[in-house]
Amino acid sequence: MTLLDARQLVVKKIDELKNRVKKLDKKPSLVIIRVGEDFASGKYVANKIKRCEEVGIESKIIHLDENVTQDTVQKTILDLNNDDNVTGVLLQLPIPKHLDEDYLTNLIKDEKDVDGFTIENMGKLSLGLDGNVACTPRGIITLLKEFNIDIEGQDVLIINRSNIVGKPLSQLFLKENATVTIAHSKTKNLKEKIKLSDIVVTAVGKANFLGVDDFSDNTTIIDVSINFNEFGKMCGDVSKEDYDALANDKNCNLTPVPNGVGQMTVIELIEQTIEIQEKKEGK
Ligand code: GUN
């Protein structure tokens, strides 16, 4: 089995992205809007900013109060849409319940939508047209390709139907000629479906949701979740105690948590910001 550890790839990518930034006439700039005090969001945003600095692109956080009005968030986004110095805009999710997440996400100008979450960008992805693509799904495909894991013709099960992960990821796998099944909380016979799949992507959000007995030999397991176990340690959906057995008894490939998919999401975000600027400059 291979542990699909993203760390080496991240180092390589940062180097490559640094060089691409140097070739641009103008440094790309990413603006992240964060609303409220969601703990995990704080960590993710800090990580995104750190990576921007490493690659040499401009970044800024606009941190709005938990009780901010819809009008204020709307005005913030529209101002950024009209600011020629801003390459990419991202509204960190989740946002407080009194705000309309779908409406505000879609307000971001399609070209600046580094998350690939607007209706236009999601539509383009479904139609197989060029546009911005959600970063976690992008990162999963990049990671599989880096480790030379076959995708074409494989049976892929995605246990997640969200707009951020499951839906865009299903489109990327289709583009790679995989056969895709999306499972969710109402899916029948989930365990049977897992056993029949070549690639299983889990983004359920429950520590110890899956273990060694759930998988057939040679399965590639992509664990997207970031959970915290009873000892406060970061983990995915797959039991950490089973990593060794998955490797040694079942010859599975597995993305570890931490140092798996989460790292890739941030790299893809930075790369997409650079791509937007490259397109602007005709490069
Ligand atoms: N919250 C969790 N993942 C993401 C992401 O990829 N983009 C944004 N904007 N918010 C998130």
- Let me know if 115 is a catalytic residue: yes
Out of 112, 113, 115, 154, the active site residue is 115
- Pocket probe for ligand 1: among 92, 140, 263, 269, the residue whose CB has the most ligand atoms within 8 Å is 92
Burial letters 5-34, b for 16+ CB under 10 A, else e: bbeebbeebbeebeebbeebeeebbbbbbb
Given a contact cutoff of 8 angstroms between Cβ atoms, the answer to whether 203 and 165 are in contact is yes
- Walk me through the domains of the chain, giving residue ranges and CATH numbers: 25-111 (3.40.50.10860), 135-262 (3.40.50.720)
- Percent of the chain, pLDDT > 90? 96
Percent of the chain past pLDDT 70, that is, above it, reads: 100
Span 87-108, average pLDDT: 98
Are the CB atoms for 51 and 15 separated by under 8 Å? Answer: no
Confidence of residue 7 (pLDDT cuts 50, 70, 90): very high
Q: How large is the average pLDDT for residues 10-27?
A: 98
Is the beta carbon of 35 within 6 A of some atom in ligand 1?
A: no
The first and second tokens of residue 82, run together, are 């009209």
**Closest by CA position to 139, among listed 222, 227, 199, 202:** 222
CA distances from 84 to 40, 129, 142, 268, 276 (A): 30, 25, 30, 22, 13
Q: How far apart are CA 71 and CA 205, in angstroms?
A: 32
| Distance in angstroms (rounded) separating the CA atoms of residues 226 and 46 | 16
- Which of 13, 92, 167, 277 is flagged as catalytic? 92
C-alpha 116 to ligand 1 mean position (Å): 10
Report whether pLDDT(240) > 70: yes
Strand 58-64 to strand 88-91: parallel, antiparallel, or no bridges (unpaired)?
Answer: unpaired
For the question of residue 22 being annotated catalytic, the response is no
Task: Please give the number of the atom of ligand 1 that sits closest to the Cα of 93.
Answer: 10
Range list of β-strands (E), the chain: 29-35, 58-64, 88-91, 155-159, 179-183, 199-202, 220-223, 227-228, 234-235, 253-254
CA distance 204 to 194: 14
- Residue 137 DSSP class: H
Does the Cβ of 225 fall within 6 Å of ligand 1? Answer: no
User: How far does Cα 125 stand from its chain's mean position?
Assistant: 15
> Please, are residues 232 and 210 in contact by the beta-carbon 8 Å criterion?
no
Confidence of residue 2 (pLDDT cuts 50, 70, 90): confident
Q: What is each CA distance from 226 to 97, 232, 237, 238, in whole angstroms?
A: 22, 12, 8, 11
pLDDT tens-digit series, residues 30-57: 999 999 999 899 999 999 999 999 999 9
Which residue puts its alpha carbon closest to atom 9 of ligand 1? 92
62-90 pLDDT tens trace: 999 999 999 999 999 999 999 999 999 99
d(CA 209, CA 204): 8
pLDDT band of 231, cuts 50, 70, 90: confident
**Is any ligand 1 atom within 6 A of the Cβ of residue 136?**
yes
pLDDT of residue 1: 66
Atom of ligand 1 nearest to the CA of 135: 6
Active site residue 97: no
User: What burial class does residue 208 get, using C-beta atoms within 10 Å of its C-beta: 0-12 exposed, 13-18 middle, 19+ buried?
Assistant: middle
Pairing of the two strands 88-91 and 199-202? unpaired
In the numeric block, the tokens 């992805």 are attached to 125
Region 228-244 average pLDDT: 92
